[in-house]
Structures are given as structure tokens and as C-alpha cells.
Amino acid sequence: MKLDLPASDTPLSSDDMRRWTNAMIDTQLALIADATDADVVFEPVDPEANDTYAASAVEVNLPWSLGHLIVHVTASSEESAFLAAELARGVTFHGRSRSEVPWETVTSVAQCRHRLEESRRMRLASLDIWPDDPDLENSYSSREGAPPINAVRRFMSGLRHDNSHVEQIAEVMRQAKAARVTG
């Protein structure tokens, strides 16, 4: 299920990053290929649910629905893509650049597919704004002792984050399908 992404220190071209972006979106679309609208809002069982960035205390241990997962992974990868474009252009890292669709508003498979395709378009477009000779020396460290993050590493961190949720998406779909049969 998960993609075998290249190591974080592997030199990659913008064409490589395009291929990995398309592979990730295609993987996610395949995982939800036979989803129903009920599956999108289905609340799975997830004893490990722990969202330290939750909007409220009530949501900290809330299992993520398929709709929630899709908006989360797309927002994270888009953030990485846009920060990567800034780094490639020589802009000093200035903090987060995140916009996430409210997950509660995503209630249909059509919305999930649209969000994935929209995210694909935005991520690929972000690579088009990289200069022909990107500044790959421009980097920052997320914490003391961490390796520097340049444009390529930042872009790929979004795909790595997506990849970390692939099995979770598959598990939500498995549970939702089982609930259809028993429900």
C-alpha cells in the first residue's frame, strides 16, 4: 500500500517530485475507489487516536473519518509544496503556510476525490514556480541537531507525511466496508 519513497537525502529533480506526487494521489484515489458517501463520514475505531493539534479537547482522541484524513493529508502536502517553492526561490523560511478545509464539511466521496485532484493540481503547479536553477542551499532546521531542510527535502516531507497515513486510510475503508455488511 505505502509507496517506497526515496531516502530523504536522495537528489531529486522536479520531474521526480511530479512522478511521486502523481503516484501518491493515484494511490489515495485507488484506496477510496469504491467508497460510498457513508464511508466518508464513518467514524472508525482507533484506540491510538491522539491529535495533539486538535482544535478542542473533545477532538484530541477522536478517530479520524475518511473525510478528515483526506483534508489533513492534502493540507499537509500543500503546505510542504508551497514552503518548498519559497525555499527554492531563495526566500528565508518564515514559519508555517497552512490552509486546511474544515474536515466536518467533507461528507461525500465526490468531495474527497475533488480535494485530492485539487491538491494534485496545486502541488504540481507549485513545482512550476521553482526557478530553473533552484536555491538548494537555502535551508532551515526544524529543531536543534536536525538535518537542514532544503526545497527538495521540504517538498518530499509532504509526500512522506501522506505516506504515513496511507495505511490509516486503508484501515478506515476496511472498517467502513465491514460496517456496511454488518450495519
Mean pLDDT of the chain: 94
- pLDDT exceeds cutoff 90 at 90: yes
Asked if residue 80 lies in contact with residue 86, where contact means CB atoms within 8 angstroms, the answer is no
pLDDT band at 25 (very low <50, low <70, confident <90, very high): very high
Looking at residue 60, its pLDDT comes to 84
Higher pLDDT among residues 152 and 53, named by residue? 152
Mean per-residue pLDDT for 133-153?
95
Architecture of the CATH domain 14-182 = Up-down Bundle (1.20)
Q: Check whether 110 has a pLDDT greater than 80.
A: yes
Cβ-contact 32, 112 below 8 angstroms:
yes
All cell numbers assigned to 57 = 479537547
Q: Compute the distance between CA of residue 66 and CA of residue 170 in angstroms, rounded to an integer.
A: 9
Please tell me the distance from the alpha carbon of residue 136 to that of residue 87, in angstroms, as a whole number: 8
Range with the poorest average pLDDT among 28-32, 38-42, 141-145: 141-145
Residue matched to cell numbers 531516502: 7
Q: Are 120 and 52 in contact (CB under 8 A)?
A: no
Q: Is pLDDT of 31 > 70?
A: yes
15's enclosing H/E stretch is helix 14-31
Average pLDDT of the segment spanning 22-46: 97
Kindly tell me if the per-residue pLDDT of 140 is higher than 90: yes
pLDDT of residue 129: 96
CA 131, CA 78: separation in Å to the nearest integer? 18
pLDDT, residue 47, reads 85
| Residue range 24-51: mean pLDDT, rounded | 95
Residue 14 has pLDDT above 80, yes or no: yes
Is the model's pLDDT at 183 over the cut of 80? no
Q: Tell me the average pLDDT across 140-158.
A: 95
